[in-house]
Amino acid sequence: MNLVPPPLSLYVHMPWCVRKCPYCDFNSHGVRGTPAYADYIDALLADLDADLRDFGTALHGRPIYSVFFGGGTPSLFTPELVGRFLDGARERLAFAPDAEVTLETNPGTVEHGRFDGYLAAGVNRISFGVQSFDNDKLRRLGRIHSANEAADAVRQAQDAGIDNINIDLMYALPEQTLAGALDDVEQAIALGPTHVSHYQLTLEPNTAFAANPPPLPDDDAAWAIQEACESRLGDAGYGQYEVSAYASPGRRCAHNLNYWRFGDYLGIGAGAHGKISDTNGVRRRWKTRLPAAYLASAGQSARIGGDNRVTSDDLPFEYMLNALRLIDGVPMKDFSERTGLPHSVIAPALAMCVARGWMVEDAGTLKTTPLGQRFLNDVIEAFMA
């Protein structure tokens, strides 16, 4: 395959939470006792060392453009521990001068002094898992913070000098009305974040909500909420650039853009997933999920939960699964550069999507229409093997 190495990012998974939320299907684990936070940082660096050895020349000379601490609740880790990891990563990898470093944060797990510390440690972007500014909705979602605590946390981060802030909001919450959803958006806008992630609550398998579903708005009501909130965010100056992402000018999330453009990323930490391109194609690797097992296998082959090459038959679907989420689409040339496949392999599916009004007829761009965005799952499935 003739792949052009795409930008490279680093994803770091922090698996612990104060309490597991009933809607969450991420690899997160409620805190029991005192987790071995310092040992986990050691294990992360050992994991990174082993991946650097395993992937070898595929990473040679490629700088890191973004780092994302996800979870779980990364803000359970002190600024000193986050800084120790970042210092270690910089000793092992070249960072781009303007590398974006994001820390996911639960408003109920941070104090004012920590934001100063995170900034000093090298974090330059904070993502707050607010979800709602309605205390009843927060309670039903199992969140540990209140609406006032969420707003205070955002202000404290801004006061500390962190000027790149995302607020996560969910909509179509249990018994949520259109007015309630718009109020959440208004309160987020009033705080002046640079980015808003606004996504629909879905019932994921193997979650408490899936086992005991709460009363949710129907599809038509959810669509009305999405359209109204999208319009309000646009009026407030937040441009939608992805299905669920809105940003002030120049503040799009570099890390998530790399995912959607089918870039590469090292994934370290319990349950973390990574994607690396080399001369043989696209390789995906993921780590063992349970924190105890991950700690016990630090830097050893047992830390790897799976490792495989993406087949040529599956590459078109995997590419579209990411790229078609972008409102502006992606250059057609990127498909060949990042999959190693000719355009001809997607021509029949592309023609069908254009005929159905789902995609734009443009030889230079892969892009969905507004109708295609509404039926995005159907569009993406058209490219399955």
CA–CA separation, 134 and 152 (whole Å) = 15
Kindly tell me if the per-residue pLDDT of 364 is higher than 70. Answer: yes
Q: Prior bond to 340 cis, omega within 30? A: no
Kindly tell me if the per-residue pLDDT of 111 is higher than 80. Answer: no
For residues 40-62, average pLDDT: 96
Q: According to the model, what pLDDT value does residue 305 have?
A: 97
Q: Give start-end residues of each CATH 3.20.20.70 domain in the chain.
A: 8-258
Give the tens place of pLDDT for each residue, 211-248: 999 999 999 999 999 999 999 999 999 999 999 999 99
Kindly tell me if the per-residue pLDDT of 107 is higher than 70. Answer: yes
Kindly tell me if the per-residue pLDDT of 132 is higher than 70. Answer: yes
Q: According to the model, what pLDDT value does residue 34 have?
A: 85
Q: Which of 69, 34, 32 is nearest to 267 (CA)?
A: 69
Alpha carbons within 13 angstroms on the beta-carbon side of residue 165 total 27
Q: According to the model, what pLDDT value does residue 112 have?
A: 63
Q: According to the model, what pLDDT value does residue 25 have?
A: 83
Q: According to the model, what pLDDT value does residue 89 have?
A: 98
For residues 348-372, average pLDDT: 95
- 315-381 CATH fold: Arc Repressor Mutant, subunit A (1.10.10)
Q: Give start-end residues of each CATH 1.10.10.10 domain in the chain.
A: 315-381
Write phi, then psi, for 341 (nearest 5 degrees): -105, 150
Measure CA of the first residue to CA of the last residue in the chain; give whole Å.
18
Confidence of residue 333 (pLDDT cuts 50, 70, 90): very high
For residues 197-219, average pLDDT: 93
Q: What is the CATH number of domain 8-258?
A: 3.20.20.70
Q: According to the model, what pLDDT value does residue 191 have?
A: 98
